[in-house]
Structure 1
Amino acid sequence: MYAMHYAITLPTDYDIGIIRERIATKGPLLDNLPGLGLKAYLVRERGVAGSPVNQYATFYLWASAEGMGGFLWGGRGFGSIVSSFGRPPVRHWTGAACLNGTVPLSAATAATIREEAMLPDIDPSIAVSSALQEAAARARQPGVCLSALAVDPQSWQVVHFALWAGEPASDAGTRYEVGHISKPEINAILKA
């Protein structure tokens, strides 16, 4: 599994309704994309839920590197982002876990993303094991639809991603509104 994320910060006076309409129109186009485990279409609106910015963002969990490459440079979707907003930097990580939460994915209304650096003097196996325990505990919390963990071995960071039905826990990370979820190969990335 591979995790991927990009965010496009928009002007403060941008009509965020344009992004919501884009998600409603274009979101379902990836509902059957080969290699895609899950894509969450995300929005932050300035002044709502503490957001300081207007932002359109996505978070992907890929079942295959071929699917990810096909999307980014193989003509299966990313060109639409580039033609509308320019080419944003795309962050990516190696997936470590994707776990079902306590409520169905269809109930997701919010997402959180939290990155944290591993301490430099800690063995990565210990740091990732601890982060996996945290992801599993998050998956068991009330209102959680999905909890995922990924690792960047270049910067030695972990990223925690969660989908929520309702308001996320205050310590969960940067909060986003969920506009749509595509999940064509979700079963390929879920762990029991």
Structure 2
Amino acid sequence: MHAMQYEITLPADYDMGIIRERVATRGHLVDDFAGLGLKVFGIRERGVDGSTLNQYSPFYLWHDEAGMNTFLWGGPFTGIIDSFGRPAVQHWTVLGFEDGPAYGIPPVAAGKHVEQIPAEADPVAFLGEALDGLREHVRQEGAHSGALAVDPRSWQVVRYSLWRDEAPKSDEVRYRILHLSSPQLDELRRGRQW
């Protein structure tokens, strides 16, 4: 399983209604996209949930690289490039995915927590503890689901979680979800992925 995100930071005075309209008219286009577990159409708005900036920041969980590659190379991602230029696409290998108590309720918020694996740490032990932390995190009331992913190039670990009402403050980056495409969410493999 693969996680992917790109962040399009917009000017401080940008009309975020433009992004809302974009998602309202185009979001459904990936509601049945092959290989896609979920796509979170997330935004951050300056002055909301502690954000100091405006940002459109979709997040994806893919079953495999085939669906992701179809999306990126000649698929819907060309619309992002046409509108905003070519953003850097962050990519992680998923180490775990867990349901929360609000799994059956459509989430309206998402949160992200990023950690560096210290150079002196045993990465296997560190990731095992991070996975335990994910499980504990999504046991909270209002948690829909969460994923833990790692980029072994930068040794960066990302915990991304979905929430029924609002993401907790322990997630340093919080998003409002404008739309959730989840064509194969129920088919995502649960638990530890190694």
What's the TM-score once normalised by structure 2's chain length? 0.95
What is the correspondence of 1:107-122 to structure 2 with a 5 Å cutoff?
Answer: 107-122=106-121
The ranges of structure 1 where at least 4 consecutive aligned residues each deviate by more than 4 angstroms after the TM superposition are none
Matching residue of 1:97? 96
Are the counterparts in 1 of residues 111 and 168 from structure 2 also a CA contact under 8 Å?
Answer: no
Are the counterparts in 2 of residues 36 and 68 from structure 1 also a CA contact under 8 Å?
Answer: yes
Q: CA deviation at 1:146?
A: 0.7
Residue 49 (1) aligns with residue 45 (2) = no
Over residues 106-157 of structure 1, what are the superposed CA-to-partner deviations in whole Å (9 max), with x where a residue is unaligned? 4311101111001111121101100100111112111100111001111111
SS at match of 1:22: helix
SS at match of 2:61: strand
The alignment of Structure 1 onto Structure 2 pairs a total of residues equal to 191
SS at match of 1:168: coil
Are the counterparts in 2 of residues 100 and 190 from structure 1 also a CA contact under 8 Å?
Answer: no
Q: CA deviation at 1:47?
A: 1.3
Q: CA deviation at 1:3?
A: 0.4
> In structure 1, what is the Cα distance between the partners aligned to 2:105 and 2:81?
29
SS at match of 1:135: helix
RMSD between superposed Cα atoms in Å: 1.1
SS at match of 1:129: helix
Matching residue of 2:161? 162
Matching residue of 2:29? 29
Residue 87 (1) aligns with residue 83 (2) = no
Matching residue of 1:191? 190
Are the counterparts in 2 of residues 112 and 163 from structure 1 also a CA contact under 8 Å?
Answer: yes
Unpaired runs of 5+ residues, structure 1, are: none
Q: CA deviation at 1:187?
A: 2.4
Over residues 4-23 of structure 1, what are the superposed CA-to-partner deviations in whole Å (9 max), with x where a residue is unaligned? 01110111111101101111
> In structure 1, what is the Cα distance between the partners aligned to 2:167 and 2:93?
24
Unpaired runs of 5+ residues, structure 2, are: none
